[in-house]
Amino acid sequence: MFDINFVERSIIAAVLIGLTAPLIGSFLVVRRSSLIADSLAHVTLTGVTAGVLAGNLQAFWEINPLYTGFLFAFAGSLIIERVRHTYGGFQELAAPILMAAAVGLSALFMSISADGVTEWYGYLFGSVVSVQMEDLWFIGVMTVVALGLLAAFGRELMFLSFDEEMAASAGIPVKIFNVLLAVLLAIVISASMQVVGVLLAGALITLPAAAAMQWATGFKRMLLIAVIIGEISVAAGAAGSIFFGVASGGGTVVTAAFILLATLILRAWINWKRNRRLKYERHQSA
């Protein structure tokens, strides 16, 4: 990682994000909390715009917007869990509340900033070819932290995702692990900015998991399939960005969406064939 060109940096960054994003997404999908990913992505955008604005105004020393994006995402993960707890039986309100506030602040900061549409394009939709060594180190550190936390607490998070009440009755500190899952999501989203952009990070987190759910017979198998789909998607996005100059986030998400659509069609065809065979067998036995 000390002397590599932009293509190699792009590939390494894409592989790391293709690994971590679907892993976290699988927990969110089975928990039915995938909307939180989009909410935190917009909070991350607020952090990015705040960092860029601070640099333009020269109010602070120059700082990589990735760092301010992560700080805002981390704070947002704590806030969203607090709001979910406050609303109790209406916990789903936390995501749109935070998203609305984040979008408003982002629009405000963008309008004040001197940067034009071109400058924001990479942050919004990803530009994997623009990953610098500092960005790659940030992505690498975030990946190691996320994978380390998953290795240490993956069992508890899985239990929590499937049945929160049973997890609580089993002695698992639900509030702590809810916050941990939200923090993991913030880590992954902030690391994904350069590869898929903040507006499309939520899609990379949820689409591979949604497709994997159609084939998996268990959670571990779902994780494996989701990672495979995620890696295929980011590889397609990175290739499109390197060879054709298209937005890496757009190519990544379109590929993931196509895989999901193909999965749904194929599963529907398989189910139709199975039902047809069963009807024929019942007819023959009668």
Give the model confidence (pLDDT) of 68-114 as tens digits.
999 999 999 888 888 877 776 666 777 888 888 898 998 888 888 76
Lowest mean pLDDT among 1-5, 150-154, 165-169: 1-5
Lowest mean pLDDT among 135-149, 161-175, 200-214: 161-175
pTM above 0.95, yes or no: no
Task: Spell out the domains of the chain, with CATH numbers in brackets.
Answer: 6-206 (1.10.3470.10)
pLDDT at 7 over 80: yes
Closest Cα to residue 189, out of 32, 38, 1?
38
Helix residue ranges, H only, 32-125: 35-57, 65-87, 94-112, 117-125
Share of the chain above pLDDT 70, in %: 93
Check residues 7 and 233 and name the one with the higher pLDDT.
233
What is the Cα–Cα distance from 140 to 215, expressed in whole angstroms?
30
Give the model confidence (pLDDT) of 18-64 as tens digits.
999 999 999 999 988 888 888 899 999 999 888 888 877 765 566 78
Closest Cα to residue 198, out of 21, 42, 11?
42
Q: Which residues of 94-124 are buried (b: 16+ CB within 10 A; e: fewer)?
A: bbebbbebbeebbeebbeebeeeeeebebbb
When pLDDT is averaged across residues 256-273 and rounded to a whole number, the result is 94
What is the Cα–Cα distance from 179 to 174, expressed in whole angstroms?
9
| Degrees, nearest 5: CA angle 35-225-172 | 55
Handedness of CA 146, 151, 152, 155 (dihedral sign): positive
User: Binning pLDDT at 50, 70 and 90, where does residue 119 land?
Assistant: low
The pLDDT, as a whole number, for residue 260 is: 96
Give the rounded distance of the alpha carbon of 108 from its chain centre.
Answer: 25
pLDDT at 1 over 50: no
What is the Cα–Cα distance from 58 to 182, expressed in whole angstroms?
32
Task: With beta carbons less than 8 A apart as the criterion, state whether 66 and 194 touch.
Answer: yes
